[in-house]
Amino acid sequence: MSDAPVLCLGVVVADIFVPPLERLPAAGELVATGEFLVQPGGCAANVALGLAALGVPASVSGRVGEDTFGDLLVGDLFKRGIDTSAMVRSAELHTSTTVILPVTGEDRRYVHTFGANAAFSTDDVPDDVLAGADIIYVGGYLMLPALKQAPLVAALKRARARGATIVLDVAVPAGTESPLSALESLLPLADYFVPNVDEARAMTGERDPRRQADRLMASGAQRVLIKLGEHGTYVRSAGREFEMPAAPVKAVEPSGAGDAFAAGLIVGIRERWDIERMVRFANVTGASACTALGSWNGVFSRAQTEAFLDANPLAPRAMAAA
């Protein structure tokens, strides 16, 4: 097992969480609530922070503005032991920011300003950082308009030639045309492709996870792990197909669950576990993110994850023949 930091590149955001509301205020109405939570967010930062909680070194490559939120984001990552030397500060664009509005019994609402993420490109990832990574997580692909497929593919091919493992995650903005074609050269480089079921549906047009995986494997992905929320994870590789149930936790707010899942998966990749053990562990770390407000505040430590699994063993469900 290498001590090299896991490189997490992609979307970074300053998140502003409003505590769960009983209802949204009417026009002109003030609703009092608890303290707002302001912290680093976005796929790349969330996975790095999840890895830090699990005792794994991580670095983040992304873009933020030269502003207060940029200072907060970079400073908080650094304070938590994450390598921020590959972060780029933009004088022209502000830090991407999201306000998250959870309402009890409803899905979250988001208010987002795109900011510096719009300019993040492969050129922003230092060659020495890329060369030093044994595992590379790409987070929020398709939401980064300057992160073009061809140069990213070239960079990841160089990394894979040196033996790096690639974990690819996506976010599919509404109205994206032909999202699967935007991945056609990238998917064959993905050792692990980890969309959620809604993203997989947007890419494939299929609602059933098995049919989604058929399309994604045919497009070149080596291992497809489709996150099903409270229903767990559907897993397909060349030699295995199974569903792993979700970990039973008391959920407070579900933001960051998919990113914490990726962090748990990466622990298993680093330690060369079999895929069943990886996903079992990742399902617990993903669920743990739901136990507190914020995208990573609730993520379990390694010891907590293992203790949870001792008390709540998760058994994979074999799939019936198609």
Confidence at residue 106, expressed as pLDDT on a 0 to 100 scale: 85
Angstrom distance (rounded) from CA 142 to CA 10: 10
- The encoded tokens of residue 294 equal 């914020």
Instruction: Quickly tell me which residue has 């617990």 as its tokens.
Output: 284
Confidence at residue 1, expressed as pLDDT on a 0 to 100 scale: 57
Angstrom distance (rounded) from CA 316 to CA 259: 21
Q: Which portions of the chain are predicted below pLDDT 50?
A: none
Angstrom distance (rounded) from CA 194 to CA 77: 24
Each residue of 199-228: pLDDT tens digit?
999 999 999 999 999 999 999 999 999 999
Length of the chain in terms of residues written = 322
Confidence at residue 239, expressed as pLDDT on a 0 to 100 scale: 81
Q: 306 φ, ψ to 5°?
A: -65, -40
Confidence at residue 75, expressed as pLDDT on a 0 to 100 scale: 96
CA 173 to chain centre: 15
Q: Residues 64, 87: contact at Cβ < 8 Å?
A: yes
CATH number, domain 6-22+35-304:
3.40.1190.20
Angstrom distance (rounded) from CA 101 to CA 78: 27
Strand pairing report for 97-101 and 109-113? antiparallel
Confidence at residue 119, expressed as pLDDT on a 0 to 100 scale: 96
CA torsion through residues 192, 252, 108, 207, sign = positive
Angstrom distance (rounded) from CA 321 to CA 47: 35
Which SS3 state, helix, strand or coil, does residue 27 take?
coil
Q: Compute CA distances 94 → 8, 13, 39, 73, 118, whole Å.
A: 21, 10, 16, 12, 10
